[in-house]
Amino acid sequence: MYSVEVFGSRVSGGGSLGGAGGAPEAVGVAWAGAALPSRHEGLAPALHALGGPEVLLYLYARVVELDGSPTEQAAALRLLLRAAGLDARLHAAALAPPTLDMLLVVLASPKCHVGHHLLRVSVAYSCSRRRAGRAPARRPHSTCCSSCSPAPSAT
């Protein structure tokens, strides 16, 4: 029997705890019926069927809660953000207010290592979204150089 605290709530079940009071090694599952085969057309539909980006957000929160290193926490956030960019539905679900509120709770946790690893992941995600054409078109900021100034007319 084990009991684990997740986001202030206690979860208990059968099985043994992992080393140093971590996550359970095995959890007993009783299926209500026979497994039915299903076919998914890629990672995005499968992830959507499992619960969307909230599942990966929960796993990121577990990495933070189990006191993962800054590198591990950044890798978990990178996985969440990359999966959210797979298709428009996942992206919209990841940027929905309830999901962002949950992410803010995790980032505000004292166990979350907010440092250069997370900053690198955030900046890389933001820049990749910009390259993917999701930012407004670039306008010239001045006529300081040939790339900013309009081409001279040939009249």
- Using 50, 70 and 90 to split pLDDT, how confident is the model at 138? very low
Instruction: Please choose, from the candidates 104, 35, 115, 142, the residue with its C-alpha nearest in 3D space to the C-alpha of residue 95.
Output: 104
Domain assignment present for 125: yes
pLDDT for the residue numbered 46: 85
Domain assignment present for 28: no
**Residue predicted with more confidence, 74 or 131:** 74
Domain assignment present for 27: no
Q: 85: domain range?
A: 44-130
Instruction: Please choose, from the candidates 94, 74, 70, 96, the residue with its C-alpha nearest in 3D space to the C-alpha of residue 83.
Output: 94
If one counts the domains in the chain, the total is 1
Domain assignment present for 99: yes
Domain assignment present for 37: no
**Side chain identity at residue 108, one-letter code:** A
**Interval 112-129: pLDDT, tens:** 999 999 999 999 988 887
Q: For residues 74 and 121, is the Cβ–Cβ distance under 8 A?
A: yes
Domain assignment present for 3: no
Q: Which helix (H) or strand (E) holds 121?
A: helix 116-129
Report how far residue 135's alpha carbon sits from residue 84's, in angstroms, rounded to the nearest whole number.
Answer: 17
Instruction: Please choose, from the candidates 34, 33, 14, the residue with its C-alpha nearest in 3D space to the C-alpha of residue 24.
Output: 14
**Side chain identity at residue 85, one-letter code:** G
